[in-house]
C-alpha cells in the first residue's frame, strides 16, 4: 500500500544540562552559595550531554532510515566524575566552593523517605538513585554510525555557556 514507515527511534541521553534546564540550575545555585555537593568520595562517573547537542540528536533521528525500531544512546565520549563536574561548574561560575560531602547512606534514606511519603514523586526518588550509580555511562557509537551524530560541545565549554545563559536571563 503506502511507502515505508519512518523508523521509530528512541534516544537515551545521560544527564542533560544547558539553557532552560532547571535541574542543574539548583546545582549551579549551590555552587554560587559556596557549596559543592559531593556524594561519597565524588568518584562516580557519568556522562553529561549539553542540551543543544541533545537537540541535534533529535534532528538527526528525524532522518533515520525506515526499518525496525532502534534505540540510541546520545552521550559525549567524555566522562567525568561528580567531583570533576562540580569543580568545572565552580570554574564556570568563577568560584572555588567548599566540598560538601554527603554520605551515600543519607541519599538512600532520603530516597526511601521521599518515595514512602510522596508516591507520586517516584521520578524524583528515582533521580536520587541515579546519583548513586558507580558508572552512569553508555556507548553512543551506534548514534555516530547510523545517525551521524556526536556531541560537539565538551563539558567545560557547555558549563561555561550554561552559566552565561543563566546569568543573562537572571536565573543566577
pTM over the 0.85 mark:
no
Over residues 37-83, the pLDDT tens digits come to: 888 888 888 899 999 999 999 999 988 777 778 899 999 999 999 89
Q: Which residue has the cell 532552560?
A: 20
- Please state which of the ranges 58-62, 101-105, 142-146 shows the lowest mean pLDDT: 101-105
Q: What per-residue confidence (pLDDT) applies to 110?
A: 73
Evaluate the CA torsion angle 38, 40, 42, 48 in order and state its sign.
Answer: negative
**Could you give phi then psi for residue 45, rounded to 5 degrees?**
-100, 140
3-class DSSP state for residue 16?
A: strand
Q: What is the mean pLDDT of residues 75-99?
A: 90
3-class DSSP state for residue 72?
A: strand
Q: What is the mean pLDDT of residues 116-145?
A: 69
Amino acid at each position: 500500500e503506502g511507502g515505508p514507515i519512518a523508523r521509530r527511534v528512541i534516544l537515551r541521553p545521560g544527564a542533560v544540562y544547558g539553557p532552560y534546564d532547571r535541574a542543574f540550575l539548583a546545582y549551579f545555585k549551590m555552587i554560587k552559595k559556596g557549596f559543592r555537593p559531593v556524594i561519597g568520595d565524588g568518584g562516580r562517573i557519568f556522562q553529561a550531554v549539553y542540551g543543544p547537542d541533545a537537540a541535534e540528536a533529535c534532528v538527526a533521528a528525524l532522518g533515520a532510515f525506515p526499518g525496525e525500531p532502534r534505540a540510541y544512546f546520545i552521550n559525549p565520549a567524555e566522562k567525568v566524575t561528580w567531583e570533576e563536574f562540580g569543580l568545572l561548574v565552580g570554574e564556570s561560575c568563577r568560584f572555588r566552593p567548599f566540598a560538601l560531602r554527603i554520605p551515600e547512606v543519607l541519599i538512600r534514606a532520603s530516597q526511601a523517605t521521599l518515595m514512602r511519603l510522596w508516591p507520586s514523586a517516584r521520578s524524583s526518588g528515582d533521580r536520587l538513585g541515579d546519583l548513586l550509580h558507580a558508572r552512569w555511562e553508555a556507548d553512543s557509537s551506534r548514534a555516530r554510525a547510523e545517525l551521524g551524530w556526536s556531541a560537539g560541545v565538551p563539558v567545560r565549554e557547555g558549563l561555561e555557556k550554561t552559566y552565561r545563559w543563566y546569568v543573562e536571563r537572571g536565573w543566577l
